[in-house]
Structure 1
Amino acid sequence: MQRRIVYQGQVALDADFLWGQRNLKTALGQALNLLYGDFSSVSAAFGFVITQDASGLSLTIGEGVVCASGAADQVAFGGNGGGITADTSAGFVVYECPGATLTLTAGQTATVYAVCAETDTDATVLPFYNADSPSQTQAGPNNAGTDLPVTRLARAQLVLAATAPAIPAGGAVVPLYAVTGPAAATATTTATVLALTAFYPTVPQLERGRYLGTQKFVSAGTYTPHARARMARVRMCGPGGPGGYASANSDNSHNSAGGGGGAGGEIEFWYDVSSGNPIQITIGASAESINSSMSIQSGSTLFGGIVECKGGSSGSYGDSTPNTSVSLGVQAPGGQVVVSDNTNIIEIIYQKQGQGGTGGMCVLGTNVPTIGTPSSFGAGTYNSDNDKGSDASGYGAGGAGGGSNTNQSYAGGLGSPGVAIVEEYA
């Protein structure tokens, strides 16, 4: 960017002031070039809100600004023996528009154009210094009373036309809206108005939907929204249930196999965080596999008091079965999801009860302990026929059942814990 230098005691010339204005205009155009791209192929507009008439064929368009190609100065800037010469090299120019009311013809397909040009306006009779009589001023050059423009105005004029108007010298024509009116239209509220490509999103609009970060909770904590966050995508699940317990056998004539634990309930939802209120997060843990036929349920994962993902239940109890028989344990229920959204601050993407765990089998002396039940966040693992059940991996999966064909009893594996994953967006 160029700047003019003047000195104390110097007799400043008109060009010193005029060059400062042109250089500022050029620098602003270069900054807009960085923002929008090549001025020769891109124009941008802001404002120009359209109001359609419910009782007539008028379109009222509010004030706006157009950034489009234009000359540095199509004609000389200033004059009367001074000023600076014209410069027709092009760049981005900012054109102001006060708005307008346009009339649409029924059945017409037309475009609202912004016709952009610079004009010299505000003609005024100016006082000039009289070199022959310093105590007097002259009314205009040579005291002739001639008025001179004092403003070079970059202005856009709105036109509704079926074809594009001619491009003014040193200016531009920018299409803003496409408008189509029905053949029998009596009001522009029935017309179709489509904003064209000159309208770019603003910086706040561009930020809307921007990913801000992820908070993952594997233990209890507090979710505090980011200051710029407006929405959060939350995925969470309850813990898996433990695998079923395999009871001991008095001799080798019996065997037992525990079932797989049920998976935890799952949900995914959008959460409105615009209030900025913190949310308490509770992460559920797996229950322990116990030597009892009583079914037990793992804990719950909580998102405040709004969402509860319950844990899966324990796998079926593996009781001793004669080697000459076939037995199948009952299935273990998966965890349910409970939503208590009284203020409509969440939008559910999906929710589901956890997958149930399959009962363990004993088939003619062979143990078939059930693999842990998978979830969307984790998986169970296989167990041998005479060992403790394997713990589930990841989150929300059920533990594998234990298996025994000796006088040793074996517990089922632990289900994997719950989790809450919060992705924030502006």
Structure 2
Amino acid sequence: MDRAIVYAGSIPLDTDLLRAGRYTKAAFGNLASMLYGSNVAAASGLGYAVSSSTLSLTIYAGSIIAPGVMDVSTIGGNGGGLGADTTAVTCQYCSPAAQTVTLPGTGNTYTVYAVCSEQDADPTVLPFFNASNPSQTQAGIRNSGGALPVRRSGVITLVAATTPPIAPVGGYVVALYTIVVPQGATSLAGVTVQPGQIFWPTIPELATQALLKASTEPMTLVTGNGSILVPAWASRVELRVIGGGGGGAGSQATTTASSFSGAGGGGGGDAWGIYVVSPNQGNGLAITVGNGGESEQTGGTSLVSYNGQTLLQAEGGQGGTFYSTTGSAGGVGGNASGGTVWNQSGTSGGDGQCNAYTFSGYGGDGPWGGAGRCGNQGGRNATRYGAGGGGSYSATADGTVSGGGAGYQGCVLYRFLP
């Protein structure tokens, strides 16, 4: 990098400081280009929060590095200063405080753009030497009292529009977020906000073994409701949800002349997919895990939502039932939706009684088996995630209910990806 050289006894010039600033800016720009590549833009910070009452969102403080020029106009002056220099260099632009952006309408797709430019700021009335009387100072040039800017700053101005604004001379325009606003919406609650390809992982995040370890480990199992924050290095998440298993049908007779052999409960649905996420968005992933159904009850739905939108879900298997005094149908497996890898319906439970004929009444398997089998005077409970309970056959006495086996609860598996 270049550095300014000065000598003892020489008359100090304004350009000594101005040249040092240019050397520093060039050095920073070269370093940024080495890290990200030439003509590449990258953002840090600039997370957001949507309004639940208006069509606006707040963009938090942050910075952007993007292509620019050394100085689009003269810096300094009054007989000195440095002239404009349009040499291309990577520049830093900052937004030191949160800014609120209001969308111009509804029923359209809008993008929040960061307009990056350099502006002269901090006007100050400076003291100047009086050439006629060096012991006296003047307030501003020629003692006019006029203020002069003392700082050239890279700034970020935010604009929401359907098309990119024109970049300022020597500046740059960056797409931060894209927002699909439904027709007639009055707020951004539940509206999808998609981050642009401007948010890069930091070097420490990419260089650590933690990133490699986290992105290659097996999926993490979640068995209860809760939320999960998106780690700073992640841009995607792999998710699999399994619905709860249905319960098997009970029995209340000792002969086939009545409700003797109950059907099995259905297995929960199974949805699997990969989705885009951002550490700068919302409060992470919200997880709901479906419970297993008790005797003859449907299992609960498992799902994962992000920023108020359901990514994927798997319904619970239906319970085994008696559709007549001597007829029992196996529970239908739960449906699945939203998966990008697959959406598989759960396995149906086995039928039980059909008049004087009786069948197995086994529960439907979950993804890892575990269906409850039919059992004398009580169906057996399922033993693995999403499996259905077995039906019951026989009872201790006519009219005494022997319950079907319970379905096993659902689950959610996740793994964040870079």
- What is the TM-score of this pair, normalised by structure 2? 0.49
- What is the TM-score of this pair, normalised by structure 1? 0.48
Greater Rg over alpha carbons, structure: 1
